Amino acid sequence: MNKNIKFALVFTFLLAFFGGKINAQVKSGDLVDGIAVVVGNEIILESDIEDQANFSKQQGAAIANKCEFVEGIISNKLLIYEAKRDTLIENRSAVIKDNANQKYTQILGQFPDEKTMLATYKFRTSFEMKNAIEKIDSDNYYGQMKYGRITEKADVTPNEVTDFFTTFQYQLPEVKDEVTLSQISIFPKLTDSHKDEVIGRLNKIKQAILGGETFESQARIYSEDPGSASNGGLYKAISKGKMVKPFEAAALNLQEGEMSDPVESDFGYHLIQLVKKSGKIYDARHILLKAEPNAAEIATAKKELDSIRTLINDGKMTFKEAAFRFSDDKKTKFNGGVLTAEDGSDKLEKLNLSPTIAYQIAGLNKGDITEVFQDKVQQDRKVVTFVKINDVIAAHKLDITTDYDRIKQMALNKKKNEMVEKWVKEKLPNIFISINDRYKDCKFKTDWRKSAETK
């Protein structure tokens, strides 16, 4: 397929494009660490390339050619270099560093111990791995922000979409089997006695802290938040609006060092300690006890949801009305319960559905509604739900009559890539770029030798 119609953005430094088996235009074998590429004042070490490739390989990414891989890094580094000089792009270094620590903790939770994790990702120390995550996230952020600034006015007309389809119709990919689905979900509610039991446990922890135990130690022992428990419950550089409203309201009403009473949120019950506050940014520790419903509470929720399903089947209420009135899923209740993919499309590949939903809709047809079933959502929170099959779409070649929105997005991506390629060529003569001789045999698509290095 022509490179201009690929879904991938020009900055292929994104995590999804990093690792995998790196074959050779460059000779295989261990490379001595050193500077691989310099773009302006941005330096890429050989160890950075290898660390990021190893990290991404464990995330399931793959790339076949190291020269293409390195050129993607160069293109993205140019965007990053210019992004950091762009006064309209926010410097988020502190937040990125804190998020990298949280990601490290989350990944660690998937392994029996830290040594196993580091060996799997091929890092020697936790510092090296955290540093690699931070570099990836930082480059990803600045690359995307600059890409967005360059392409923010990009648009395509209907004629351009038609021309794109006419030109590339025989190269467009085949769409796999898909469905469009709607769902109504509710979270089982805890009984008053169950709530009192959880709150009582938190109050005992609070009394232990007031009696001399540190908040940090109690968070490590008791908190059920996998993202912060091992870090003593600490979240740093929290910006307003990032946390759920009950958490944020409680935290910002505290004085530095003060501790809250138990606070209820969608995730459970929290003890919160404000560590530091500066303007709209704050650091806080918390201890979370999840509001985990028991079997009786789940059964009650299923009975309630089944009565809603009956109203829909009897024609007394539309699915859209029921979703708006009863669903606890904030992402879908305002659009009739319709599930969407990451790109915003309502067409979902069957192969990418969760195992639970795939099992529940197996054998059903357009218009059918599943029975009520139990599922899990964010942070393993239990939910009961049922799903309606709005449409079933068989695998087919992309066609403008049935897939206009997809083809339009591909045409728009092509135009955006061309805008960035033009921008790179215009910037190239004024930016110093140096590439190590070990890549001299690479056949790059852009002539990086036209940079300021040769002037």
Same domain, 151 and 139: yes
Looking at 258, 290, 322, the residue that finishes a domain is 290
Assigned token pair, 334: 């305002």
Same domain, 429 and 373: no
Q: What angle do CA 311, 312, 318 make, to 5 degrees?
A: 120
Closest CA to 50 of 9, 77, 12, 20: 20
Same domain, 108 and 119: yes
Cα separation, 409 vs 155, in Å, equals: 10
- 């990086």: which residue's tokens? 448
Task: List the end-to-end C-alpha distance of the chain, in Å, as a whole number.
Answer: 36
Q: In what order do the strands lie in the sheet with 281-290?
A: 234-239, 281-290, 268-278, 263-265
> Please, how many CA atoms are within 13 Å of residue 325, restricted to the half-sphere of its CB?
11
Same domain, 17 and 59: yes
Looking at 363, 378, 396, the residue that finishes a domain is 396
CATH number (domain holding residue 252): 3.10.50.40
Q: What angle do CA 55, 56, 59 make, to 5 degrees?
A: 105
SS3 at position 421: helix
What amino acid occupies position 289? L
**323 belongs to a structural domain:** yes
Cα separation, 36 vs 448, in Å, equals: 14
Same domain, 266 and 342: no
pLDDT of residue 181: 97
Same domain, 90 and 183: no
Is residue 84 a contact partner of residue 74, using CB atoms and an 8 Å limit? no
Same domain, 141 and 72: yes
Looking at 268, 290, 312, the residue that finishes a domain is 290
SS3 at position 34: coil
Same domain, 274 and 412: no
**165 belongs to a structural domain:** no
**9 belongs to a structural domain:** yes
Phi, psi of 272 (to 5 degrees): -125, 135
Cα separation, 218 vs 195, in Å, equals: 21
Same domain, 59 and 208: no
Q: Where are the alpha helices (DSSP H) in 152-233?
A: 158-168, 192-210, 215-222
pLDDT of residue 404: 94
- 């009739």: which residue's tokens? 336
**64 belongs to a structural domain:** yes
**168 belongs to a structural domain:** no
Indicate the DSSP class of residue 5: G
What amino acid occupies position 336? G
- 């002539």: which residue's tokens? 447
Cα separation, 348 vs 392, in Å, equals: 10
- Tallying the residues shown for the chain, one arrives at 455
Q: Which long-range contacts (CB under 8 A, 24 or more apart) does 117-122 make?
A: 120/58, 121/54, 121/55, 121/58, 122/51, 122/54
Same domain, 242 and 133: no
Q: Which structural domain, as residue segments, surrounds residue 105?
A: 3-158+405-454
Closest CA to 383 of 373, 393, 391: 373
CATH number (domain holding residue 42): 1.10.4030
**245 belongs to a structural domain:** yes
**163 belongs to a structural domain:** no
Indicate the DSSP class of residue 362: T
Cα separation, 106 vs 104, in Å, equals: 5
Conformational region of residue 28, where left means phi above 0, alpha means psi within -120 to 50, and beta covers everything else = beta
**169 belongs to a structural domain:** no
Same domain, 301 and 359: yes
- Separation in Å, CA 33 to CA 30, 36, 207: 9, 8, 53
pLDDT of residue 13: 34
Assigned token pair, 213: 């135990």
Same domain, 229 and 279: yes
Cα separation, 16 vs 29, in Å, equals: 24
Cα separation, 275 vs 288, in Å, equals: 17
Residues of the chain with pLDDT under 50: 1-32, 455
Is residue 382 a contact partner of residue 168, using CB atoms and an 8 Å limit? no
Q: Which residues contact 141 (CB under 8 A, 6 or more apart)?
A: 92, 96
Tally the domains of the chain. 3
Closest CA to 298 of 357, 374, 378: 374
